[in-house]
Structure 1
Amino acid sequence: MRAFKNAILCFGYILIALYYSCENEPYDGPLTFDTQLSCSDTSDLVDTALNNFLDSDSSNFADNCLAYKAALEEQLLVCPESFDEISELINDLNNCEFSSFFQVDFDNDTYLSLSAEAHIGNGKLTITGRRDNEDFQIILHQTTEGTYQLGTEGFGGNINTASYFPDVTSNESWVSVSDGNEIMGEVTVSYINYSDLRISGTFNFTGTNNNETKAFTNGIFINIPLTKDDEFFALYDGEEYIDSSILGILIENEMTLVIIIFSEIDSINMDFNIDVNTPPGFYNLRLISELPRAGFSGNDDFYYYGNGTLTITAHYVDAKFILGTFEFIAELENATPESYTITEGRFCINYGL
């Protein structure tokens, strides 16, 4: 009986010790107390799990991610000196859902990025995948869904490129460049969601480096996070319209979108009035009060009405985002001068903020 009581007492002490150790431990993940592994052992397991995770594709991404996360949690228990570093790695994995993905094959291996992002700005779409010091970067001079060639001169004399940087701290890179006539690959932007700010697509290219070539195949990016800048560009009578600020507001019970582009020159401004429910498409700008319409203040004395075209490439009302191009003649009879020519116009605007 005494032995039994002593056993119960010892068991109680163990429970108390476990209780206080759990209370003092900030990590909320699973705890295992029967492990006999050393810190070195768990580090080896983590390395193996990480290699499997980096070799993942869309079919086994979640399983390999969960296995890697479990190995890190095991390592966390026996390597307290690396608690902060390991905890950060675990937190970065989140719940291992297949939410975003950037992958490409080369050198008989598969590259899986640990982070990826996309950005629209300055008339370009830039997609980046990163893993440690390795980077992939795709730069397109188009910002809409479609299939685009790499290495050849496109609209406006711009060349779309894809690049691989084995080590961003060095000057080495494999880039899809040519003499401007040879197709070095292609990128298909299959999906852009401006509401959730995500982008998906596929790519392949041939990279060159000091007259050597390397093939990058089966590239895929899925649900990459997307950011975007307000952007405006236009020429008036061949001169660049330098904007100082862009204002997008909703008026008339939020049924009309008014976009005002203020110039660095106080007397020059441009504006557009668009029905807030206008879908993507091609529209005429006319010298009448119907929407859409455009106007231009070329000087302090006159307001000119636009006569031309407006192409709305994307318009997401819920996200309050609109993207498009335009050109028009700003005209006013008996004014001095009587007209201004607006060309190469484009805009990418978040409104109603």
Structure 2
Amino acid sequence: MKNTFCLFFIIYLFFTFTSCEENGIFFPTPTITKGTFEVIIDGQLYSTQEASFVRDGNNIFINAIKPNTNEIFTLKVDNFDVGNFSFQGTNTVASFIENNPVSANVWSTSNQTSSRGTIVFTDIDLINNTVSGTFNFIGNNISTGSSRAFTQGTFVNIPQSITSISDDNFSAKVDGIEYQEESLFTNLVTVGSKELILINANKSLSETISINLESDIDVGEYDFGSFISQTYPTGQYNVGSAIYLADGKIRITSHNKIARLISGTFQFDASPATSSTPNFSITEGSFNVSY
């Protein structure tokens, strides 16, 4: 299926696509650039250049990750333009994911009935395909009931992801029910000593199927490994702030390492890190993505 765009978790896709014309407006081929994404968390500066955005029409997702800590921000705004937008409801949402080897904490403004912060777009450059602005928000952790403040946030010259997303697709079933993802992110990042392809299919900002593959993976069948021991590939199913790890198999059916195109199928049981008893069954999984 075609993506209406793309998270959570996440986040940014790096590959080249040709120029196109949309609604009479010409968008040139993006160039590989680096912006800056910064925010204060508990008095500490979070700063990264691993940030980009993807948009579908007038909707935008800005994604930022610190590869060494795997901390991820996603800022989603519908019908964005230069100006001020409030984080509340499901159309304008901020989220922060803090991963560790056995769990993941998520602080988000999703489904809040009153404003939990703002995002301001100060510059939208359709020639160089970059966006800049500021943001702040208070995110809630639905698992722990805690709140966290993210202040003095800035994003400067964040580039558009340079992968065409129109032909990417992802499908799966969760306990026999079709998983209808609203957004699909693929990204090539370095985590520790590994260069990884990250695939994140988001049904919402609180429900995600994630697959992590080594960038040089060959065609073949593999058992899902462990994020804790960094044995790849790995798979996860995230619901709210809970993370369920994959025990199953993935088959890579094609991988063009030059064009950065990869396809495959998968199935796994999803269990908490502290238990071997599955909570969910992920079946009939397939993907065909660029990264």
TM interval, shorter chain, is: 0.3 to 0.5
The TM-score normalised by the length of structure 2 is: 0.40
- Higher-Rg member (1/2): 1
Higher helix share: 1
Structure with bigger RCO (C-alpha 8 Å, 6+ apart): 2
